[in-house]
Structure 1
Amino acid sequence: MQKLLKLLVVMMIFVLGFTGFAANNIAEAKAGKKFTDKLVKCVDGDTAYFKKAGKSRFLYVDTPESTNKIEAYGKTASKYTCNKLKSAKKIQLQYDGTKKDKYGRTLVWVWVDGKLLQKLLVQKGYVKKFYDYGTYSYESELVKLQKKAQKDKVGLWSKKKESVTIATTNKTNFKNCTELRKYYPNGVPKSHKAYQAKMDRDKDGYACER
């Protein structure tokens, strides 16, 4: 009887251990395997072009606008993201479920030198909201960090709000990108009234982007 009980206990430990191991593996594997990629160009706080992934939208985070409609902390978030990507020795991307959004952009988690860029953006207070079209691997962690950023009053949540100075014009025909960027610092998409094909040198549907 004692031998039988011992055998049952060992089996239970094995089953529970295996279940826990499997659950952890499923959680870790959900987001997919990381792969190394190279930056082609940075667009704004949550969008960039990569060599393998193409035009990519960062999963789950939504930073303030910095192109057509410039919002507070939009330029700051854009500058922060671009600096991180350009200075990174190693960039890794990670898929998590659906690979493309309705605009054809690749959806990715972005890692710069081993750190999750979305996490860094949230901690800085540069994420105004989350777009929740599903359950993502790092969602709960980012939500907690967002609450902390709000509590600590950093970035968008600070008492000292960033002022936004926007040059306005009704002009649509600019001579060159230097002139256009005085009003649209990060360039314009093909749908914008100021877009000109001659300023879209790489023919990606975005003129004068930095």
Structure 2
Amino acid sequence: MKKIYLAAVIFMAFVLLLARTGIAPRSYQDGLYASYIIDGDTIELSNGQRVRYIGIDTPEMRERKGLGWLYNPRPYAKEAKDFNQRLVNGKPIRLEFDVQKNDKYGRLLAYVYVGEKMVNLEMVKEGYAMIYAYPPNIKYAEEFLEAQRFARENEKGLWSGLESNVISSSQARQNVGMLRMVEAQVYDTFLSNKLLILNCRDNFKVVIFRDNLESFPKEVLRSPESYFKY
């Protein structure tokens, strides 16, 4: 059995394929200001519109409780919100749109700029956000991947001390919703047309969607069992 190391939100180990599409963004919008910072990846504009940053995800400030929401900041949620506020508060911002301009909640999906600095990218580079590539809005996927690699190698923000504090798969249940580096032993694999599942000891599973396997070595597709198992 081969040991694998995973940096993921426990039981949400979705490994995202990051690739350029070559499709140009639709348009820009400038002359805007943020009137309210909701969290690390969402702001409200002075005109009342809400903007969800493309390509990133930050720890949540609230959690769903019944039909409502409960204020319960995850680790680094406050820090991410504060850093976002320092970047955009009181400053003119510019929005760059990708292929899809709105999400199902009606929020604008955008790359947010202050001057020439992309706020989305800064959030990842400084370790306050993780990459979240969701097609078709993946124009800057490679840049986000490089920024996250930099943050992780330099132990920025939420990556601080992560690799020096590895937990076992048996401890995963006590760390649900937390960002942790997990050591797991793969004893079986399952590959279908849609996904690859790594079955590990202690009832720990890793799910990798089929389209995302291109970011792994080719040996994984040829024989995932021999690649991940001893």
TM-score range, shorter chain: 0.5 to 0.7
Q: Would you say the 8 A contact 2:133–2:141 is kept in 1?
A: no
Structure 1 residues 133 and 53, CA gap change in structure 2 (3 angstroms): farther
1:74 equivalenced with 2:77 (yes/no): yes
Structure 1 residues 34 and 104, CA gap change in structure 2 (3 angstroms): closer
Q: How far does the alpha carbon of each residue in 1:72-98 deviate from its partner, in whole angstroms, 9 at most, with x for none?
A: 11000001101211142x211111111
1:57 equivalenced with 2:59 (yes/no): no
Unaligned runs of 5+ in 2: 1-20, 63-70, 166-230
Structure 1 residues 53 and 100, CA gap change in structure 2 (3 angstroms): farther
Match among 131, 151, 154 for residue 153 of structure 2: 151
SS in 1 for 2:89: helix
Stretches (4+) displaced over 3 A: 26-29
Match among 133, 136, 144 for residue 134 of structure 1: 136
Partner of 1:122: 124
Separation in 2, partners of 1:101, 1:28: 18
Separation in 2, partners of 1:121, 1:109: 12
The amino acid that maps onto 1:110 is V
Q: How far does the alpha carbon of each residue in 1:176-202 deviate from its partner, in whole angstroms, 9 at most, with x for none?
A: xxxxxxxxxxxxxxxxxxxxxxxxxxx
Equivalences for 1:153-172 in 2 at 5 Å? 153-159=155-161
SS in 1 for 2:109: strand
More relative contact order in 1 or in 2 (CA 8 Å, sep 6+)?
2
Separation in 2, partners of 1:87, 1:35: 14
Aligned-residue offset at 1:27: 5.3
TM-score (norm 1): 0.58
Match among 25, 34, 43 for residue 30 of structure 1: 25
Computed over aligned residues only, the root mean square deviation of the Cα atoms, in angstroms, reads 2.4
Separation in 1, partners of 2:55, 2:24: 18
Equivalences for 1:35-114 in 2 at 5 Å? 35-52=30-47, 54-67=49-62, 68-88=71-91, 90-114=92-116
- The structure carrying a bigger helix percent of its residues is 1
Q: How far does the alpha carbon of each residue in 1:33-88 deviate from its partner, in whole angstroms, 9 at most, with x for none?
A: 35231222111100011135711111111011123331111000001101211142
Larger radius of gyration: 1
Partner of 1:165: none
Report the count of equivalent residues: 135
TM-score (norm 2): 0.53
Separation in 2, partners of 1:105, 1:121: 19
* Identity between Structure 1 and Structure 2 (%): 27
